Amino acid sequence: MTPVAITATDGHALGGALYGDPAQARAALLIAPAMGVPQRYYAEFAGWMAGQGYAVLTFDYRGMGDSRPAAHARSLRGFEADIRTWAERDAAAALAHLAGLFGPQVPIHWLGHSLGGQIFGLVPGRERVQRLVTVGAGSGYWRDNAPQLRRMVWSLWYFIVPVVLPLAGYFPGKRLNMVGDLPAGVMRQWRRWCLHRDYLMGEGGEPLRERYAAIDTPILSLSFTDDEFMSARNIESLHGFYAGAPRTMQRIAPEHIGVRRIGHFGFFRPQFEGTLWPRVQGFLA
């Protein structure tokens, strides 16, 4: 792994990591993180993919992980960003950085975990991507969430966030043991999306719906029956936005691969190197 400095389209400094040797890689993969998940969480999977002949780039959205400025190390109060900033500036810069390492003959792929699969249609330069893999990615509309999440998320959106954001100036998720620290703009926008039946389309309207529907990048969706956040309805709703893309939908039960638990975050654990990870490599190959 080699640390990488990425400059967002507005000049903001982002932290990234490159796995594998671009000179030897037969293809490249960008991993777009889930909400509040640092890039280091994907390190072992990225290293495994590098061993399969891919150059893999991970990164942190601004305000997160290695992209959190030292001036905001203790608090994100006053730090300005929303989800569209993450997509249109940060993820776009990471994609451009990775694509810039290769000529046009080398395939570039995208793996989006949860939020990372939701924002693909917002990212400038996405036309360079040949294949898209989503892992645990679905609409965040709260009434469709998995039952165990739906029981508590009402209080998050209608009580905790409206009270905490004005007091703290950001979402102090680490102290609350929820999601992680998030910029206020990110949390406000995510709340608006999650409270709308059409999720991000509720804010983007028909132009955004048409943009997503026009995407023709082949998609592999990996979702899990024991996901504590995303229900089957969430998964289907999000991928319905990608109406023009060929979609391979794989919904996996833990017992089908001989384990007790996968969940929303489990896919990237090394225990699935022999069962789940090859599904990504096979689809991209």
pLDDT at res. 13: 97
Q: What is the CATH number of the domain that holds 239?
A: 3.40.50.1820
8 Å CB contact between 116 and 139: no
Distance CA 6, CA 14 (A): 5
**Is the pLDDT score of 119 beyond 90?**
yes
**Is the pLDDT score of 9 beyond 90?**
no
Distance CA 81, CA 63 (A): 8
pLDDT band at 151 (very low <50, low <70, confident <90, very high): confident
Cα 204 to the chain's mean position, in Å?
19
pLDDT at res. 147: 86
Alpha-carbon distances, residue 26 vs 105, 107, 264 (angstroms): 10, 8, 30
pLDDT at res. 160: 95
Residue with tokens 């990775």: 98
**Is the pLDDT score of 65 beyond 90?**
yes
Distance CA 120, CA 251 (A): 20
Alpha-carbon distances, residue 90 vs 6, 87, 230 (angstroms): 9, 6, 25
Picking from 185, 10, 189, 190, the residue whose alpha carbon sits closest to that of residue 80 is 185
Residue burial 160-187, b: 16+ Cβ < 10 Å; e: rest = bbeebbeebebbbbeeeebbbbbbbbbb
Q: What is the mean pLDDT of residues 128-134?
A: 98
The rounded mean pLDDT for the chain is 96
Backbone phi, psi, residue 220, to 5°: -110, 120
Is the whole-model pTM more than 0.85?
A: yes
Backbone phi, psi, residue 195, to 5°: -90, -5
Collect all residues with Cβ–Cβ distance below 8 Å to 280 and sequence separation of at least 6.
Answer: 49, 111, 133, 220, 222
Backbone phi, psi, residue 228, to 5°: -80, -10
- Three-state DSSP class for residue 124: coil
- Amino acid identity of residue 265, one-letter, is F
Distance CA 188, CA 183 (A): 9
Q: What is the mean pLDDT of residues 187-195?
A: 98
- pLDDT tens-place string over residues 204-260: 999 999 999 999 999 999 999 999 999 999 999 999 999 999 999 999 999 999 999
Picking from 227, 37, 223, the residue whose alpha carbon sits closest to that of residue 150 is 227
Q: What is the mean pLDDT of residues 154-165?
A: 95
Number of folded domains in the chain? 1
Share of the chain above pLDDT 70, in %: 100
8 Å CB contact between 275 and 45: no
pLDDT at res. 51: 97
Residue 16 sits in which domain range? 2-284
pLDDT at res. 150: 85
